[in-house]
Amino acid sequence: MEWLGPLLTIVFIDLMLAGDNAIVIALAARNLPKHQQKKAVLWGTFGAIAIRIIATVLVVKLLDIPWLHLAGGLLLVWIAYKLLVQEEGSHDNIKAGSTLRQAIGTIVLADAAMGIDNVLAVAGASHGNIWLVIAGLIISIPIVVWGSTLFIRLIEKFPWILYIGAAILGYTAGKMITGEKKIAHLFGNGGMPEWIFIALVVVLIVGAGLLTKAIRKNKQPAPRERETH
C-alpha cells in the first residue's frame, strides 16, 4: 500500500505528459511506409523509455544534493503551469524521418530533449525509490505507445482532466520543496504547515492557469471584428 499511492501518481504523471511523446512519434514516422511505421514507433519508444529510465535514476540520485529538491520543486511548479497554458504548434520543428533509422533517431532525440518535465516529475513522485520509478515507467510504456493519442482526445473532450494533472504536479512540486532538508524545519517537518504550503502551491498553479487563459480569451478579437478586418 505504501507503493500504491506514489505508483499511481507516477503513472498519471506519465499519462498527462505523454501527449508530447505521441505527437513526436506521429510526426517523426509520418513519411515512412505503413509497414515501417510500426517498427519506428516500437523501437523509437523503446529507446526513448530506456534513456528516460536512466535519466530518472540519475535525477533521483542527484536529488540528494543540498538545495536540488528546492530547485526541482520550483521548476516543477513552472512545468505544471506550462501544462495548463501551452498552445498548439509547439512541435512544428519536429522533422519526419525519410528512413526507419532516421525516424527512430528523431523519436529518441526529441523525447530526450523534451522529457525533462517527465523525468523531474517522476523523480519527485518516487521519493527516492528507484524500483518505483522503473515500475511506473514500465507500466506506462504501453500507455505511451498505444494510449497517449486516445488520452489527448479525452483531455480535449474533458478539459478538467488537465487541471487534475496540473494539481498532481503541483502536489509533487510542493512535496519536493518541503522535502528539502535545508528548509524542512520551516514546514514543521511533515506537520500542518507543510500541507498548507502544498495546498497553496496547487491553488497558485491552477489559479494562474485559469487567469492566463481568461486574459488570452479577452485579448482575442470578437468574431464580428474579425469579419470586418
User: Which pLDDT does position 224 carry in this prediction?
Assistant: 56
How many angstroms separate the first and last alpha carbons of the chain?
A: 61
pTM recorded for the entire structure: 0.73
> Over the stretch 149-173, which tens digit does the pLDDT of each residue have?
566 667 778 888 888 888 988 998 8
What are residue 168's phi and psi, to 5 degrees? -65, -40
Q: Which segments of the chain are extended strands (E)?
A: none
Alpha-carbon distances, residue 144 vs 33, 44, 148, 154, 217 (angstroms):
22, 11, 5, 14, 31
| Amino acid letter for position 132 | L
Contact 168/9 with Cβ under 8 angstroms? yes
Region 123-134: mean pLDDT is 81
Region 4-17: mean pLDDT is 77
User: Which pLDDT does position 202 carry in this prediction?
Assistant: 95
User: Which pLDDT does position 42 carry in this prediction?
Assistant: 77
> Over the stretch 133-155, which tens digit does the pLDDT of each residue have?
778 777 766 666 665 556 666 77
pLDDT at 179 over 90: no
User: Which pLDDT does position 211 carry in this prediction?
Assistant: 93
Residues 6 or more apart whose Cβ sits within 8 Å of residue 228: none
Contact 122/57 with Cβ under 8 angstroms? no
User: Which pLDDT does position 204 carry in this prediction?
Assistant: 96
- DSSP 3-state of 191: coil
